[in-house]
Structure 1
Amino acid sequence: MRRIAIWMLLFFPVVAHANAVWPALYLETRLFSWWAISVGLVVEYLFVRKLFQVTPKKAIFVTITANAASALLGILLIPLAGIAWEVFPGLLFYHVLNIGTFNPITWCATFIIACAVNVALEGLVYKKTFRLNFLFKSKMFLWFLLANAVSVGVAAVSLYIIPVQP
């Protein structure tokens, strides 16, 4: 009987739960915009080409594959990482500084988290799928973090230029 009650609660539509948003959810929607994807692919192609010393054709294939994998997994991981931020240390900032969820500190953290998640996922694709010499504790990681910061930055700036309409 208890299981049935739990399942009913999980699947009962509750309006209050539908209003739960945080910056990572907003950013996630823009990461899939054509302008962020286009800029990201071009910039990351240049980094893949230069840092891995591969042919242009292989660089295109590697870049598209890594970004496709990070997009598929990032759909879940970026918002989940955003929730983790909201729970801790976000709540600490909110309480100490008397600020809400949508504040400059959380936006900066969301930006960094999105970049880091993308680089981690893409790095795994470089290393495991293509056997490229991607080192997570190296300058290469930082270079790819910078490359991802460009595309995530385009997505983040677009939120200020064209705000999300409720």
Structure 2
Amino acid sequence: AAAGQWDSCDRIRELMKERGVSKLPGRTWIEVSSRVHSFVVDDQVHPQINEIHAELQRLSEQMKEAGYEPDTRFVLHDVSEEEKVVRLCHHSEKLAIAFGLLNTVPGTRLQIYKNLRVCVDCHTATKFMAKIAGREIVVRDGNRFHHFKDGF
């Protein structure tokens, strides 16, 4: 997919399907008020999804003003550049962070857990979100802990 060989990707997906092999979906968890909330990419089922999307939109505007540019190099879908940016906005870790910002008091550290590695864009975006929100954000992904504070 990274090389733009979409026909090969389609064939591989078909082979995986025929052989019963499935790709593990990315999932992110955050605990707020002793309750664990789970998000997947482009999640639409969470009861607060409209507020979460509004918070992400607000954050995105502030992030762009602060110099953030979405990194679409690893959006491995055959779609327009604009659609790639939209897809990046709906990654599970961004949804979890926005939820955490909406549902915790200012200054509270956010700690999220992701079952796969954090993509390059989400890593950069989390730096900006931590700076803008004035929060410490800790992300535990499949490989390591990422600790964000004051934009670093």
TM-score normalized with structure 2 length? 0.32
Q: Flag the structure with higher helix content.
A: 1
Larger Rg: 1
